[in-house]
Homo-oligomer: A and B are copies of this chain.
Amino acid sequence: MDSDDALLDAAFAALADPVRRRIIARLSRGPATVNELAEPFAITKQAVSKHIQVLEQAQLVTRTRDAQRRPVHLNPVRLEALTAWIDQYRLVREGQFRSLDAVLHSSAAASGTQAKDPS
């Protein structure tokens, strides 16, 4: 599905920034506001606010309203979706390694070898 692909795209792009990864790490210890999240960084609150918008678009975090505070919460469901995506290729690849190894050990390896390309 394309929308799911776009969501994966947004999620990986969000985690590609070290500041956002540290925000994720901090949120894993509980919800926090923009000001609280901005403290350990040498950047302005506006910049942190932008980072949180990116994380929110990727659905990695959600925001609730508590008076004038807007605490940010982590969304573990999306994190799980990322591991699921990675695992589908990681695990397939491990299987490929085994069969490739079998090919190398049984037949003459140096010629065409695998050409496992199904497309």
Contact = CB atoms under 8 A, between A and B. Distances in A.
A25 B89 contact: yes
A115 B63 CA distance: 9
Nearest to A69: B110
Interface string A1-26: 00001001100110111100100110
Interface residues of A, number: 50
Interface of A: 5, 8-9, 12-13, 15-18, 21, 24-25, 27-32, 36, 62-66, 74, 76, 79-80, 82-83, 86-90, 92-94, 96-97, 100, 109-110, 113-119
Q: What copy number does this chain have within its complex?
A: 2
A29 B86 contact: no
A18 to B, nearest CB: 5
Given A8-B21, A29-B96, A93-B28, A113 B66 contact: yes
A69 B59 CA distance: 41
27 contacts: A5-B18, A8-B21, A9-B16, A9-B18, A12-B12, A12-B21, A15-B16, A24-B89, A27-B93, A28-B89, A28-B92, A28-B93, A29-B92, A29-B117, A30-B114, A64-B113, A65-B113, A66-B113, A74-B89, A74-B93, A76-B89, A76-B93, A79-B93, A80-B90, A82-B82, A82-B86, A83-B90
